[in-house]
Amino acid sequence: MSRQKLSLFKLAKFTNLEIVMEAQVQSSGANQSRLIEKYKKNKNSIKTQALALKFAYGFLLSFLVVIPLAAYFEFINFFTSGSANVDAGLFAASAVFAIFFSMQIGYILILGLLNVSALMTGEAFRWFETLPISEKKLNKLGFMTVFRNIDVGLLLLALAFPVVMVIIT
């Protein structure tokens, strides 16, 4: 077997899977033994759960784009009707956009709450402490793990709204 130097992003994959598993075990309560047996029987169930979590992030955050689209169309309709108060229209549209952005951040925080709580315990990093990795790289690894956990949500947060608005306008 050839020795390869793993990048921190690749190492974060393993830490992310361990955090997903730890979050599932923490939230299972009295069914922990059944969950651990399930993990022993099917080694890929953790990867499947991590992918399902990312899919759920993407699904929920992609539907949030409908909120500013509705505000945009109402804003255009409001000003083309002729009897428009500009201040009221701008205030209403900016309030809807503020609600949209706060809901996006709220969804990311709520959906990632179990995984972030499992990350904060530090159990996923115990086996990295036995490796010759500096403390600075361990801190970067923690950041990469959080990023790998919510990467789909962050990408949708940054790209979905501008892309949809460019397509519509």
Q: pLDDT tens across 129-152, in order? A: 787 888 888 888 888 888 888 888
Residue 47 has pLDDT above 60, yes or no: yes
pLDDT of residue 3: 46
Structural domain boundaries of the chain? 8-168
For 48-75, the pLDDT digits (tens) are 888 888 888 888 888 888 888 888 888 8
For 111-121, the pLDDT digits (tens) are 777 777 777 78
pLDDT of residue 5: 56
**Residue 138: helix, strand or coil by DSSP?**
helix
H helices present in 8-134, as ranges: 8-28, 32-41, 45-63, 66-80, 86-111, 113-121
**Residue 91: helix, strand or coil by DSSP?**
helix
What would you report as the CA-atom Rg of the chain, rounded to the nearest whole angstrom? 21
Q: What is the model's pTM?
A: 0.72
